[in-house]
Amino acid sequence: MTTRAVVLGGGVAGLLAAAALAHHVDTVTVVERDRVDSGPRPGVPQGRHAHLLLDRGFRAVVDLLPGVDAALKTAGARRLRMPYDVLTRTPSGWLPRVEHDRYLVACRRPTLETVLRHQVLLVGEVKLMTGADAVGLVGDADRVTAALVRDRDTGETRPLPADVVVDATGVSSRADRWLVDLGLPPVREVEVDAGIRYATGEFRAPFGDDFPAVVVQSDPNGPACGGVVLPVDDDRWLVSLAGLRGRVPPTDLDGFTAFAAGMRHPIIADLIAASRPLGTLRGYGAPPARLRHYDRVARWPEGFVVVGDAVATFNPVYGHGMTVAALDAVALRDNLRDHGPDTRTARRAIARVTAPAWALATGQDLRYPGTFAPPRTLGDRVGAWYADRLGAAAVVDPDLALAMLDAYTLNAPLGGLLRPAVLGHVMSAVLTGRPADEPPLTDQERESFSSPLR
């Protein structure tokens, strides 16, 4: 008997879900609304902005697609050690620049999707259907038997029969409505809206491949703005600036540079001034962070699963979205191996890998006065108090900095930061340490600037 899977959405989450399915079913059809090429897809308005694939997410991608690391390197993707190759200005100061075996992968979103698409289509019987919208499900409250898709050119709607249907349609997902149409109860949803606004430009990197990435974080207790300079493929920098509600980064070069100069440190403005812009600056208003509790729906149809941004979207400044999508795909693969096409257990596994990133991102977002969200609890306030002290300790204690990075990159549980030994270490470092005022650049890096660092 031939088994079939349909994946709705051909972005990062959909491609990785297809890789997860390919070894457990006979055929996989990926349905994508956009006509795909090597450029940004129209259905990904944030596709020109900076994206990060964190250490744990990249390892998950390689686990799903062996050899993809070499393909990405050939395409120009950069592998940056954290924190040595990523200079980070936190609200408390600069993180110490020490060696560690954590890293992130930096490349433009179209480059990543092109490589993933090519690699996935080499695995098993995976086919790509483009120019088609996902419009619904076929089945009932007990089982989904097909996905309904509509051709964008002809308007024709037809079912694609499947043993497993995966919704990876991202933030525009209508899976909650489709389930209600099948007779299931409404899905509980939580939103946290920090009002994030972006502006991004590409710049010719003037200092070669050895110059590190730079991150200036926003501060809940101060200027609600931050930015990143990310070295990517083709000797370019992606420079993204972000402001929370009421602070919108301009999309003209002078205003963009002035916005960067007004952040907690002017290093990004200095880097912009030292480089050459390539093309126009683009703005983007990110949707609210949203979590749909599919794991809490009492009754669930077999043969259907939701992954990636269709389950949870995050404030993009934390860089967790693609990593969580990769972890979702691994959870789906492992569920297929252990339980076959019974996706009732998969949705709970996906909820478990989503929860830490949601707690990290929303725990920070809730601290900003303009955030629209459910009221903060006592636990939220205690967590914010401790986060401030942990951040102050991390900038003077390399061991604490690495422990904090392990939690941030989802390599270690958040609870590890609350162990008694860590708590004592945090309080000692806060009392005795002095953070560095200037970025920990090497002499060679510092000499690269045509304007002095302040």
pLDDT digits (tens, 9 = 90+) for 160-188: 999 999 999 999 999 999 999 999 999 99
How far, in Å, CA of 101 to CA of 107, rounded?
A: 19
Longest dimension (CA), the chain: 69
Give the pLDDT of residue 39.
Answer: 56
Second CATH level (architecture) for the domain 4-51+108-191+288-361: 3-Layer(bba) Sandwich (3.50)
Chain centroid to CA 16: how far? Answer: 14
Between residues 31 and 45, the one the model is more confident about: 31
Give the pLDDT of residue 315.
Answer: 87
Residue of 199, 198, 205 lying closest to 277 (CA atoms): 205
Mean pLDDT on 59-71: 96
Cβ proximity of 263 and 139 under 8 Å: no
CATH 3.40.30.10 matches 77-107+197-285+375-454: no
Q: Which two tokens stand for residue 439?
A: 């970025």
Residue range(s) occupied by CATH 3.50.50.60 in the chain: 4-51+108-191+288-361
> Measuring CA to CA, how many Å separate 124 from each of 23, 25, 61, 402?
7, 9, 17, 39
How far, in Å, CA of 307 to CA of 85, rounded?
A: 31
Residue range(s) occupied by CATH 3.30.9.10 in the chain: 77-107+197-285+375-454
When the pLDDT of each residue in the chain is averaged and rounded to a whole number, the result is: 90
Output the CA torsion sign for 111, 43, 9, 354.
Answer: positive
pTM over 0.85: yes
The fraction of the chain above a pLDDT of 90, given in percent, is 68
